[in-house]
Structure 1
């Protein structure tokens, strides 16, 4: 697990063109601290193969998408087919590993999958890869079935294999801080970390909303993912369990269809963009559908924010600066600005985490974190 020892952030994205391009723009010095989780979807492995080649030398997790809007894509259907104990998924994961040895597989499954198929698939992965993750998601009866399947996998592997196992606890889309009370979905998931000596835990959620400000209006939306994960981080830390923060990088594949905007297939929407800082997103929405020149006004608004990181902070802010100043001929469209939003969010969140965001949120009354108040 040495390849994961410096990782503090696991942004989760679908294998869409602009999502992967946003990752590819991240500088090497930042890549050493993040391990993306890629949910495979689309027609084939082309985009993922290109990403894996570019990301060579650094780790990333590979899963199959189980989001409803991806369910009918050819690749998703192939990867989620349980035939031969998910033989199609195993072959695809192995192919990507040949391109990038840092590829790490996720044992992801739906509540309707047969536990035996999932267990046999997982056992093949342990023979092929240096580390394996088991992803747990859902609530109510769905969560209970998924927990039973996860336990079946964890009971089937050796102690040595447990020591190279990561558990991914995915809270999906949230609009408020999830309950941490005994009997809650999160506590049921976390109980696995008490029952099994796994290597580490990744927590995931997205509070990026699916609604937009009215036209001509800006809004500030709280990013609440770090708040509940800070509690979990502290809880796991008291038991010596390594924890990695994860989110969906200012996307919401459960609710937001415009995250997957394709200018070749969809009508041009009203220009909209978001900018992350200090556990919130500043959102701007201006003009009419297809009036992309309004993105220059949005870029100028972002640059004027008190908490703007500066044009040289990351690829996303360099693009914002170039569009605002006119140095870039084209103002971009929704797809390009989704790329900007994802890239800027990842880089800014990584900086916050590096500066102790989870510790500050989890220990708000300790003097050593007083200088981090501006992150909260």
Structure 2
């Protein structure tokens, strides 16, 4: 089973980033995809492309994904899939969500449906959903536990997790996903911490076969226009402190995507070119913002900067680096071929995943920590 959990929402360019990984890299990751949006076309295309590889399937609960879509005059009406099918409704053990999962399992038997919940969802429906999806141990399921800023779940989520584990006939078939979302410092991992104690129970008492930590320290803030910024990646190192203690534990991150950010275009909101690059040798992200609203030709200059970075990988390292080289070779008079913010989000995710897999295959002692982060 792959050791790297890559969490994204089902946006077109997020999915394209994974589709454009090479075969070897696809085999080394387990995507965790949260469905959202007004169309399943991009998601369906991803499922077809992914073949019979495993991936985890969830339904987005982010408030920004649960809004009625903005309608445009003289355009077909858009319908939010989550609202239309009421996929987060806990009634009858999340009947609508389970129906959606069944449809997807018809296409790929290796999909792992994920049990997740909102703050006030009934514990009974959460646990029954897990039991019904698990099918007496025949179907592996994921359980996604939301972790608060204090490093622990809410009491409601603690009770939900405990009830699930004590209700399943084969809890070892349950994959636990501890979702920290954004972090800005190392969460507590000492032996008295909630996560350490819970992983001990999972591994030793419930015989859980696989669990993942999931977090992102990719910066929410962006550099000043015309400037670049260096930010430390915390996720690999803080998770390593627990991976060294628990053999069931795999690594997980959001691959520079924003777990709770806005994914739909908002009229009037400026779209300024923005890019990022991950160095697996230094555990840092380089980010750059430059240009005016929709001045996407600025990506030519940004690409030139990226390929000159000391830690830029070979031009054929991954799909993204190939594209960076192509765009960097464009001239100032070129009117196309440099993409837009959505396309560059896909590049950023693709390069991050490829570089993180690079990191997973080296020893921590090989990481160069001498770069000046400030």
Taking structure 1 as reference, are residues 138 and 8 closer, same or farther at Cα in structure 2, changes over 3 Å only?
closer
Establish whether residue 209 from structure 1 lines up as the match of residue 219 from structure 2. yes
Structure (1/2) with the larger helix percentage? 1
Render the CA deviation track for 1:209-244: whole Å, top value 9, x for unaligned: 11111111111111111111000101213xxxx221
Pick which of 120-129 and 344-353 moved more.
120-129
Residue 366 of structure 1 corresponds to none
Deviation at 1:98, TM superposition (A): 1.1
Render the CA deviation track for 1:276-306: whole Å, top value 9, x for unaligned: 1131111111122221111111101000011
Residue 277 of structure 1 corresponds to 279
Q: 1:1-376, aligned counterparts within 5 Å?
A: 4=1, 7-72=2-67, 74-77=80-83, 78-127=86-135, 130-139=139-148, 143-158=154-169, 161-181=170-190, 184-187=193-196, 189-193=198-202, 194-237=204-247, 242-254=248-260, 256-257=261-262, 260=263, 262=265, 267-278=269-280, 279-326=283-330, 329-356=336-363, 360=364, 369=365, 372-374=366-368
SS at 2:311's partner residue?
coil
Deviation at 1:182, TM superposition (A): 5.2
Deviation at 1:191, TM superposition (A): 4.9
Paired with 1:109 and 1:266, the residues of 2 have a C-alpha distance of 33
Q: What is the RMSD computed on CA atoms of the aligned residues?
A: 2.2
TM-score (normalised: structure 1): 0.87
Taking structure 1 as reference, are residues 94 and 58 closer, same or farther at Cα in structure 2, changes over 3 Å only?
same
Deviation at 1:266, TM superposition (A): 6.0
SS at 1:124's partner residue?
helix
Render the CA deviation track for 1:156-215: whole Å, top value 9, x for unaligned: 111xx2222211111111011112245545346435424421111111001111111111
Paired with 1:373 and 1:48, the residues of 2 have a C-alpha distance of 36
Deviation at 1:245, TM superposition (A): 0.4
Paired with 2:223 and 2:358, the residues of 1 have a C-alpha distance of 27
* Structure 1: stretches of 5+ with no match in the other structure: 361-368
Aligned length: 348
TM-score (normalised: structure 2): 0.87
Paired with 2:264 and 2:117, the residues of 1 have a C-alpha distance of 26
| Contact 1:49 1:99 (8 Å CA) reproduced | no
Paired with 2:44 and 2:225, the residues of 1 have a C-alpha distance of 39
Render the CA deviation track for 1:241-268: whole Å, top value 9, x for unaligned: x2210000012223x43xx254x85644
Paired with 2:130 and 2:341, the residues of 1 have a C-alpha distance of 38
| Contact 2:147 2:178 (8 Å CA) reproduced | no
